[in-house]
Amino acid sequence: MPRLNADTRAEIRAAALELFAQRGFVRTSLREIAEQLGITKAALYYHFSSKGELISELVAPLVEDLETFQKRAAEYSAGDDPRPLLETYFDLCHRHRMLFLGLVQDAGVAAELEALTTIIHKRTEVDAVLVGSTEPADLVRATVALGGLQDCVVIFPDEPAEVIKEAAVGAALRALILDR
């Protein structure tokens, strides 16, 4: 990959995210990231002292987006139409699909990230808001709905977002319906 601009740190993040999505965090070395960019490993270390630092910086925007989403979800009432909230969550997941692809390939690395605890906590809070309950059966419906949206961007990363979004949000809405 030829260097396109002077923001080497941003280029490193982009190349790392691409390689992590393809090969996982464990099977991608800093040397390979440097080679992808045509820079030395020393130059990469100038910007990131470790792979862990690089991964943490890649996860930070997801955490920020989840915090923003959580604030929006807090304004939601269980009687409101959930479609806009589900569409927003799909968009969030789609925006971070490369990171999710890397996380899925290396669950062990994901478990080591401090941010993962934050991500799970925020999702759990949103689950409860979405169904207006903390009852396990209700939380399961929310988990299936939001988790399904997240899974769709991982399983179908190369499909047009609009096509996947419509089908995924429809399925998430059906997951939220109570069988009475």
85: tokens are 């909230």
CATH superfamily of 8-47: Homeodomain-like (1.10.10.60)
Read off the pLDDT of each residue in 98-112 and give the average, rounded to a whole number.
80
Q: Is the pLDDT of residue 48 over 60?
A: yes
Read off the pLDDT of each residue in 47-74 and give the average, rounded to a whole number.
91
> Domain spans of the chain?
8-47, 59-176
150: tokens are 């997240």
Which architecture, in CATH terms, is 59-176?
Orthogonal Bundle (1.10)
Q: 22 CB contacts (<8 Å, ≥6 apart)?
A: 28, 101
- Identify the pLDDT of residue 4: 46
Burial call 53-85: b when 16+ CB within 10 Å, e when fewer:
ebbeebbeebbebbeebeeebeebeeeeebeeb
Q: Find where tokens 């609009």 sit.
A: 162
